[in-house]
Amino acid sequence: MGNNKKFVVEANFIEEANKLKLTLTEFLLLIFFENSDDLTFDLDKICNRLKINKEEILEAYNGLLTKGVISINSEKDNNNKIVDKVSLDKFYKMILDKKKEENNKRLKDDIFTTFEKEFRRPLNGTEFEIIKVWIDKMYDEELIIRALQEAVYNGATNIRYIDTILYEWSKKGIKTSKDVDKLMENRYDNPKLDETNIYNYNWLEDYDK
């Protein structure tokens, strides 16, 4: 990496680093590793590039290790010699986990909004919690929406009916929206769910397990 080469940092990299409350030197060292082609810890090279003394670099290096932002992997170089390499995998995982968390929250918000739109009223506390359990522990989000659509098709927009649809699909091994598509190909050859059985189904039983 030439001395005239500029550091390149993505916005989500800066955002996640900021949440970790890194010191300025820790942040600069992390950026250095992000832009380095050789992740061997070369103290002289780092000091020369960042214009920071060795004591501060070592303190920042140990700080990143202690905070779990970086780790050290031992591997063989071209001369078959064992060398320690800095790994940013933990930091990248933090970024990915945060993105997944944000996406899951967005999906949940979208699902709750979709339910309220189809029900034409706000969800009550019990309905909200049941849907949340579906999302967190049991079913794919798209599958839940398909069950909602099926309930609407049958003119039964209530949680108990939808829960039974999901339960019946689960027994048949239906786990994705594509599985539902295959099932729906023959829908006109099969009777609709019997509403009497639906209301006799103990739909809360599974949530206590």
| Cβ-contact 86, 74 below 8 angstroms | no
Q: What DSSP string runs through 38-80?
A: --B--HHHHHHHHT--HHHHHHHHHHHHHTTS-EEEEEE-TTS
* Predicted confidence (pLDDT) at residue 205 exceeds the cutoff of 80: no
* Domain extent listing, the chain: 11-87, 101-208
Q: What is the mean pLDDT of residues 38-49?
A: 90
pLDDT for res 29 = 93
Annotation: CATH topology of 101-208: Arc Repressor Mutant, subunit A (1.10.10)
- Return the residue matching tokens 């979709």: 114
| pTM across the whole model | 0.48
User: Which amino acid would we find at residue 99?
Assistant: K
pLDDT for res 186 = 59
pLDDT for res 208 = 40
**In terms of CATH architecture, what is 11-87?**
Orthogonal Bundle (1.10)
Angstrom distances, CA of residue 101 to CA of 107, 137, 197: 10, 15, 37
pLDDT for res 108 = 64
Indicate the pLDDT class of residue 198, thresholds 50, 70 and 90: very low
**Are domains 11-87 and 101-208 of this chain identical in fold?**
yes
Distance in angstroms (rounded) separating the CA atoms of residues 189 and 178: 19
* Predicted confidence (pLDDT) at residue 188 exceeds the cutoff of 60: no
Lowest mean pLDDT among 101-105, 142-146, 175-179: 101-105
Share of the chain above pLDDT 90, in %: 26
Distance in angstroms (rounded) separating the CA atoms of residues 86 and 182: 49
| Cβ-contact 112, 129 below 8 angstroms | no
